[in-house]
Structures are given as structure tokens and as C-alpha cells.
């Protein structure tokens, strides 16, 4: 199956582009949850943030900040929910990394990011922190 986001990036399918540079593209979501709901995509096909080269992560998030700044100037939202659905269990429907920027207003019917899942840990926070601290990152 061909990636729909790659088709939009390659201009094979029309997208409402709000920003583009050499390595990223931002388009309005075709199924918006609010006015200005935008997707920020790396131009190289990566299914998750884990596949994005380290030297591209910062730039992708700087594009997210630019889009937020544009949305503030144009739509004047009262807040934002910004996130990544990664993997099928995380709600990822299209296997191409994309960052959702969802403008928010009071009483818009949405919840906080804490309303997405309700699966509290069975281990203590101390136990989880200890396990996580034992993992070193390669230099």
C-alpha cells in the first residue's frame, strides 16, 4: 500500500499546504477536530519518531512551533493540543510520522491529553524510574 502522506508530499494528491521547506510539510487535516487542525510531516517516509534521524527531530519540532505561531495570529485559539499517535495501539492510522496541532477553545468539547487513556501503572513510579534509568543512550 502506498502512503497517502507521501503522495501529498510528492504533490500527487492535493493537500492544503500551510508551510513547506526542504524537509517538512504542514497541511490542514482533512478530518479536522477544530478549525486549523494541522499535520506536520517529515518529507522522508518514517513510520515513527523512533525512525526519524536524531538530527531531524529538532527541526521538525521547530516547524511545529512556527505553525502554532501562525495559528495564534490567524485564528487566535485559547490553547492547543499537540501530539503524535505512534503505533496502532497509540491510535496511529497512517504509517507515516505526523504531528497533530489542534487549536483549542474553552468549551470546545475536547479534553486534556490525560483523557486519552486510563491505564494506571501497577508498579510504583520509583520502580518504573529505576528501570528507565538503567537504559543508556548511545553517544
Q: Are the CB atoms for 99 and 9 separated by under 8 Å?
A: no
Select which of 45, 59, 96, 98 is catalytic. Answer: 98
Q: Are the CB atoms for 5 and 41 separated by under 8 Å?
A: yes
- Run of H or E including 41: strand 38-42
Q: Which grid cell sits at 20? A: 513547506
98 among known catalytic residues: yes
Distance CA 56, CA 79 (A): 26
Query: Mind telling me the catalytic residues?
Result: 98
Amino acid at each position: 500500500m502506498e502512503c497517502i502522506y507521501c503522495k501529498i508530499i510528492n504533490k500527487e494528491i492535493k493537500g492544503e499546504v500551510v508551510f513547506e521547506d526542504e524537509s517538512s510539510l504542514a497541511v490542514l487535516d482533512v478530518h479536522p477536530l477544530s478549525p486549523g487542525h494541522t499535520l506536520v510531516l517529515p518529507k522522508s517516509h518514517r513510520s515513527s519518531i523512533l525512525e526519524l534521524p536524531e538530527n531531524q527531530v529538532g527541526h521538525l519540532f521547530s516547524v511545529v512551533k512556527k505553525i502554532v505561531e501562525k495559528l495564534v495570529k490567524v485564528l487566535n485559539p485559547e490553547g492547543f493540543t499537540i501530539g503524535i499517535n505512534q503505533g496502532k495501539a497509540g491510535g496511529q492510522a497512517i504509517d507515516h510520522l505526523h504531528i497533530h496541532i489542534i487549536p483549542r477553545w474553552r468549551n470546545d468539547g475536547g479534553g486534556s491529553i490525560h483523557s486519552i487513556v486510563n491505564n494506571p501503572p501497577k508498579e510504583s513510579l520509583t520502580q518504573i524510574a529505576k528501570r528507565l534509568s538503567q537504559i543508556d543512550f548511545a553517544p
